[in-house]
């Protein structure tokens, strides 16, 4: 389980994009978004570094929450 703080995630479109980015790394990932807290919780077998790198590339830098 990976929990990330994503301060640039401010709206529903952002949340949708973050979900798509995570699923591009691991299509089977379970993604839970908490928009008011600007956090995303990810259950995935993929390497956390790959997920955060993909999020950075998409314009949503993330840090461990």
* Confidence (pLDDT) at 58: 97
* Confidence (pLDDT) at 65: 85
- Tens digit of each residue's pLDDT (9 = 90 or more) over 15-28: 999 999 999 999 99
* Confidence (pLDDT) at 28: 97
CA 12-17-23 angle, to 5 degrees, is 125
pTM: 0.94
The residue extents of the domains of the chain are 2-64
Architecture of domain 2-64: 2-Layer Sandwich (3.30)
Count Cα atoms within 13 angstroms, Cβ side, for 40.
31
- Tens digit of each residue's pLDDT (9 = 90 or more) over 31-60: 999 999 999 999 999 999 999 999 999 999
Burial class of 27 by CB neighbour count within 10 A (0 to 12, 13 to 18, 19+): exposed
């Amino acid at each position: 389980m990976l929990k990330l703080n994503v301060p640039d995630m401010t709206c529903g479109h952002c949340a949708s994009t973050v979900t798509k980015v995570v699923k591009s790394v691991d299509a089977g990932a379970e993604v839970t978004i908490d928009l008011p807290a600007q956090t995303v919780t990810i259950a995935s077998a993929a390497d956390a570094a790959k997920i955060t790198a993909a999020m950075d590339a998409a314009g949503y830098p993330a840090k461990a929450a």
